[in-house]
Structure 1
Amino acid sequence: MARDLDRTALLVIDVQKGLDDPRLGPRNNPDCEANVAALIAAWRAAGRAVVFVRHDSARPDSPLRPGQPGNDFKPVVSGTPDLLVTKHTNSAFLGTPDLHGWLAQRGITGVAIAGIQTNYCCEATARMAGDLGYDTLFVLDATHTFDLPAHGGGTIAADELARVTASNLQDESADVVTTADLLRLATSARRPG
Structure 2
Amino acid sequence: MSEIEIDKNAALIVIDVQEGFTDPYWGRRDNPAAEENIAALIREWRAERRPIVIVRHDSRTPGSPLLPGAPGNAVKDLVAVALGPEAPDLFLTKSVNSAFYGRPNLDEWLRGHGIGQIIIVGMQTNMCNETTARMAGNLGYQVLYPIDAMHTFDATGPDGEVVTAEDLTRATAASLHHGGFAQVIHTTDLLTTSPS
TM-score with structure 1 length normalisation? 0.93
Aligned residue number for residue 141 of structure 1:
148
For residue 85 of structure 1, report the CA deviation from its aligned partner: 1.0
Residue type at the aligned position of 2:18 = Q
Q: Could you tell me which of 129, 144, 166 is aligned with 1:122?
A: 129
Q: Secondary structure at the match of 2:104?
A: coil
CA deviations 1:103-138 (Å, max 9, x no partner) are 111111110000000000000000011011111001
Aligned residue number for residue 182 of structure 1:
190
CA deviations 1:65-123 (Å, max 9, x no partner) are 11111000111111421100100100000100000000111111110000000000000
Q: Secondary structure at the match of 1:146?
A: coil
Aligned residue number for residue 62 of structure 2:
60
Residue type at the aligned position of 1:62 = S
Aligned residue number for residue 74 of structure 2:
72
Q: Secondary structure at the match of 1:26?
A: coil
Q: Could you tell me which of 96, 100, 110 is aligned with 2:107?
A: 100
Deviation beyond 6 Å, 4+ runs, structure 1: none
CA distance in 2 between counterparts of 1:124 and 1:88 reads 13
CA deviations 1:15-51 (Å, max 9, x no partner) are 0000111121100000000000000000000000000
TM-score with structure 2 length normalisation? 0.91
For residue 4 of structure 1, report the CA deviation from its aligned partner: 3.8
Aligned residue number for residue 8 of structure 2:
6
Aligned residue number for residue 46 of structure 2:
44
For residue 59 of structure 1, report the CA deviation from its aligned partner: 2.0
For residue 145 of structure 1, report the CA deviation from its aligned partner: 0.2
> Is 1:162 matched up with 2:169?
yes
Q: Secondary structure at the match of 2:21?
A: helix
Residue type at the aligned position of 1:19 = F
CA distance in 2 between counterparts of 1:5 and 1:114 reads 17
Give structure 1 stretches of 5+ with no counterpart. Answer: 188-193
Give structure 2 stretches of 5+ with no counterpart. Answer: none
Residue type at the aligned position of 2:126 = N
CA distance in 1 between counterparts of 2:4 and 2:190 reads 11
CA distance in 1 between counterparts of 2:6 and 2:170 reads 27
CA contact (8 A) 2:4 2:190 kept: no
Alignment of structure 1 residues 30-41 onto 2, 5 Å: 30-41=32-43
Residue type at the aligned position of 2:62 = P
